[in-house]
Amino acid sequence: MFENLQDRLGSILNGLTGRGALSEADVSAALREVRRALLEADVALEVVRDFIERVREKAVGAAVLKSIKPGQMVVKIVHDELVEMLGSEGVGVDLIAAAPVVIMMVGLQGSGKTTTTGKIAKRLTDRDRKKVLMASLDTRRPAAQEQLRQLGVQTGIDTLPIIAGQSPTDIASRAVQAAKLGGHDVVLLDTAGRTHIDEPLMIEMAEIKSRAKPHEILLVADALTGQDAVNLARNFDERVGITGLVLTRMDGDGRGGAALSMRAVTGKPIKLIGVGEKMTELDEFHPRRIADRILGM
Amino acid sequence: FTKRKLDEETLEELEDLLIQADLGVETALRVTDALASERYGKDVTGEDVTKIMATEIVKVLKPVAKPLALDLSHKPHVILVVGVNGTGKTTTIGKLAAKLSGSGLKVMLAAGDTFRAAAIEQLKIWADRTGSTFLGTKLGADAAGLAYEAFERARADKADVLIIDTAGRLQNKTELMAELEKIVRVLGRLDPDAPHTVLQTLDATTGQNALQQVEIFRNVAGVNGLIMTKLDGTARGGILVAIAAKHKLPVYFIGVGEGIDDLEPFEAEDFASAIAGIAR
Ligand SMILES: Nc1nc2c(ncn2[C@@H]2O[C@H](COP(=O)(O)OP(=O)(O)OP(=O)(O)O)[C@@H](O)[C@H]2O)c(=O)[nH]1
Ligand SMILES: Nc1nc2c(ncn2[C@@H]2O[C@H](COP(=O)(O)OP(=O)(O)OP(=O)(O)O)[C@@H](O)[C@H]2O)c(=O)[nH]1
Ligand SMILES: [K+]
Ligand SMILES: [Mg+2]
Ligand SMILES: [Mg+2]
């Protein structure tokens, strides 16, 4: 399916082996291949354009080292730049705030919010010894609240009792209140999925925020997302000001270009990645690994 | 744009537009090449361009735009719904059940997702909403066993259509795909033609990976029809063009929301126009 970028660049640049510096023309030819590779990995076009210009500046005139072929040289520059743009690793969920620390999960329908809520709650409970409360504010999708309740039972983590007919904003207030009374360190708010052009639901999301005053707002997005990644990330960020990203379904065989897209347009760190359906399948983000994957290496 | 010459620069802009709709580089190039071979160097208006591009896309999509036909000589006609996690299987089943029972058919829904928390309860609510009968089991139970039992029950109840939900799975998970294969095999024991329809849901927000999804689900589960969901957002689902070109599987419906009526027939012209950027 996808030829290794290095092979492709090698055949374009092989005239240069081991001598001189990369010329403008060499670089342009190579960058056309890089552009294509990134697009095939689902990096959004506007992000690809920006990326290519950054690489161009670094690559033109770069001396080709004796030990390294020009194709490899370009791949190295591309790889380094990808890692840089993807951001630093180990930016965890921030809990430095007065208890109960409120974490709100947002995202498109089916992106993995409820599952990730359970996973984060479990992680904070097991690794950080926190007392966690989970609450589902999803009054729309059939059995959404029941889903989180069951995850609570599975993981042994408290969930806010379901009261039929209560609005999402009222549930948010009740959750924070219950966490205060219950002595919880953290309260996780799972919200209903919404498309970023659904105005009433985007307004609702902002209302939940002003009611619950979350310390973290995590945008949960599918790693398999295509070009729409920039639209959704930008819109969610503009409407509520996300504090970080969680990419789910990283256990798939997608190339994961959405990671770069969303990171680039929001500037917000990728805090965690979902690597399976089980409650333990949550990992830290490693930019180097994602860069390898985007490049098919 | 107003009238201008169809040159390299314009073609590149158009290619970019198609890439942003998720057609992928190769398919986008195929469309713009067709455009170039027709009008290169000639004056074109923006309207001409979108029209020709839409026409090229329609050429690929028209043959796959088919209505879902059920063979009611099978009692029941068994529909198995498969796909990657969160792509909209359960919701689409609910919407489909509403259409079928609305046309007077007796529908039964079977909760073959025995893995995800509250997947059974979710489908049960859709069964109640649509006046369908329902069969479920416990979380963790064998999905193939449930499918077998549902088929027997639907037969005994003289249901016209049995729709079986399955757990979402990524196509690269061999073990989970083998489980799906087992469901298909078990159904075939009761009727060699069953499942008669195997529908795969594709999420319009998914990028190039959707091609791989169809490839593998088709091989493993014998997918013979597609439904694209979540077209009510800003994603255009252009990967469907590449999928149609490669697999030629019928596309029956599109999902345009979370409500019971938000399932529309797939129309090649409308889909192509949305991609080519014609506002409707
Ligand atoms: N393979 C895999 N599946 C995942 C991952 N995260 C979530 N899922 C699955 O994706 C599907 C949707 O997950 P949910 O947590 O229900 O998604 P959601 O965003 O809460 O969905 P809505 O509330 O309907 O908007 C389920 O089948 C999950 O098991 C992941 O990292 N890997
Ligand atoms: N906006 C929109 N949302 C949809 C559409 N179809 C489904 N959804 C939503 O997408 C989310 C996932 O849908 P499900 O039907 O649970 O998906 P699934 O494939 O059964 O998920 P798993 O069983 O967890 O793999 C839910 O929030 C649905 O309401 C659609 O056409 N448009
Ligand atoms: K998705
Ligand atoms: Mg949810
Ligand atoms: Mg489901």
How remote is the CA of residue A114 from the centroid of ligand 1, in Å?
A: 7
The pLDDT value recorded for residue B278 is 65
User: How confident is residue B38, by pLDDT bands cut at 50, 70 and 90?
Assistant: confident
The answer on pLDDT for B116 being more than 80 is yes
Provide, as residue numbers in chain B, all residues whose Cβ is less than 8 Å from the Cβ of A108.
Answer: 205, 230, 233
Cβ pair A294, A247 in contact under 8 A: no
Q: Say if residue A213 is exposed, middle or buried (CB neighbours under 10 Å; 0-12, 13-18, 19+).
A: exposed
pLDDT at B280: 35
pLDDT at A14: 66
pLDDT digits (tens, 9 = 90+) for A38-51: 999 999 999 999 99
User: Cα dihedral angle (B36, B42, B48, B54), rounded to 10 degrees?
Assistant: -10
Is the separation of the CB atoms in B35 and B53 below 8 Å? yes
| DSSP assigned state of B201 | E
Q: Which helix (H) or strand (E) holds B59?
A: helix B46-61
Distance A193 CA to ligand 4 centre (A): 6
Which pLDDT belongs to residue A19?
A: 58
The protein residue with its alpha carbon nearest to ligand 2, atom 24, reads B86
- In the three-class reduction of DSSP (H, G, I as helix; E, B as strand; rest coil), residue A162 is classed as coil
Question: Is residue B240 a contact partner of residue B228, using CB atoms and an 8 Å limit?
Answer: yes
Q: Which residue among A105, A106, A108, A109 has the greatest number of ligand 2 atoms within 8 angstroms of its CB, and so is best to mutate?
A: A109
What's residue A23's pLDDT?
82
Average pLDDT of span B73-77: 96
Least confident segment among A13-27, B46-60, B229-243:
A13-27
Q: Which of A109, A143, A227 sits opposite B19 (nearest CB)?
A: A227
- In chain B, pLDDT over 70 holds for what percent of residues? 98
Q: What dihedral angle (degrees, nearest 10) is formed by the CA atoms of A58, A61, A63, A68?
A: 60
How far apart (Å, rounded) are the C-alpha atoms in residues B132 and B11? 51
Q: Which of residues B236 and A74 earns the better pLDDT score?
A: B236
Q: How far apart are CA A62 and CA A9, in angstroms?
A: 16
Ligand nearest to the CA of A282: 1
pLDDT in tens, B154-191: 999 999 999 999 999 999 999 999 999 999 999 999 99
Per-residue model confidence (pLDDT) at position A64: 74
Asked whether B97 and B199 are in contact (CB, 8 A), the reply is no
* Lookup: tokens for B104: 């007077």
Residue owning the nearest CA to atom 11 of ligand 2: A110
- The mean pLDDT value for B29-54 works out to 91
Burial of A142 (0-12, 13-18, 19+ CB in 10 A): buried
Mean pLDDT over the full length of chain B:
96
Helix residue ranges, H only, chain A: 5-13, 24-40, 45-59, 70-86, 113-126, 144-155, 168-182, 199-212, 229-240, 257-266, 287-294
HSE (side-chain half, CA atoms, 13 Å) at B50? 19
Is pLDDT above 80 for B279? no
Non-local CB neighbours of B57 within 8 Å, separated by 6+ positions: B31, B241, B268, B271, B272, B275, B276
Residue ranges in chain A whose pLDDT is less than 70: 1-4, 14-19, 67
ipTM > 0.95 (yes/no): yes
Which amino acid, one-letter code, is at B204? A
Ramachandran region, residue A17 (left: φ > 0; alpha: ψ -120 to 50; beta: rest): beta
With CA atoms as reference, the chain A residue closest to B89 would be A110
Q: How far is the CA of A222 from the centre of ligand 3 (A)?
A: 5
Q: Which residues line ligand 1 (CB under 6 A)?
A: A 107, 109-115, 138, 141, 144, 192-193, 248-249, 251, 274-277; B 85-86, 116, 168, 170
Looking at residues B88-115, what average pLDDT do you find? Answer: 98
List the single residue in B115, B118, B233 with the smallest CB-CB distance to A228.
Answer: B233
Give the Å distance between the CA of A129 and the centre of ligand 4: 25
On the question of a cis peptide bond just before residue A200, with omega within 30 degrees of 0, the verdict is no
